[in-house]
Amino acid sequence: MSTLTVTNIKASGETASRAVSGVAAAWVNFDGTGTIAIRDSQGVSGLTDGGTGVYAIAYSSALNNDDYSYQIHGTSSSTGGITKLTSASGSITTSDIDVQALNAAQSAYQDNDDNSVSIHGDLA
């Protein structure tokens, strides 16, 4: 049996490559408190603080369309539990996604210290 080792794979028709097919097109883990900061990421070019509990995540490479799948999660040590991290209405594009951290118990947006977002879709 032979082993084929590659660094990047690019599917036919895609202009950008990624490590392997079927993995996230982009993902990020970030601290959303104080001066927001990316802890680690792949396929993410930047993060913008849009105010209390509001974050914009920009992709390094555009996706083929805005019908991709996304998974989001956020926690805050100040509230001691999981805060609902939801996408903002009308803010899903091929180049970025906006997310909001809502503390359902308090019905208010809040900054989370632990946020994770992953994007699954075809790159353009």
From residue 100, alpha-carbon distances to 46, 49, 74 in Å are 16, 10, 9
Encoded amino acid at 27, one letter: W
Alpha helices in 1-123 (DSSP H): none
pTM, full prediction:
0.79
User: Is residue 43 within 8 Å of residue 25, measured between CB atoms?
Assistant: yes
36 pLDDT above the threshold of 90? yes
**pLDDT of amino acid 82:** 61
Residue 26 has pLDDT above 90, yes or no: yes
E-assigned strand segments in the chain: 26-31, 37-42, 44-49, 54-59, 69-76, 81-92, 96-103, 108-109, 114-120
* Measured distance CA(84)–CA(49) in Å, rounded: 17
Q: What is the mean pLDDT of the chain?
A: 83
68-107 pLDDT per residue, tens: 999 988 887 776 556 677 766 558 999 999 998 887 777 7
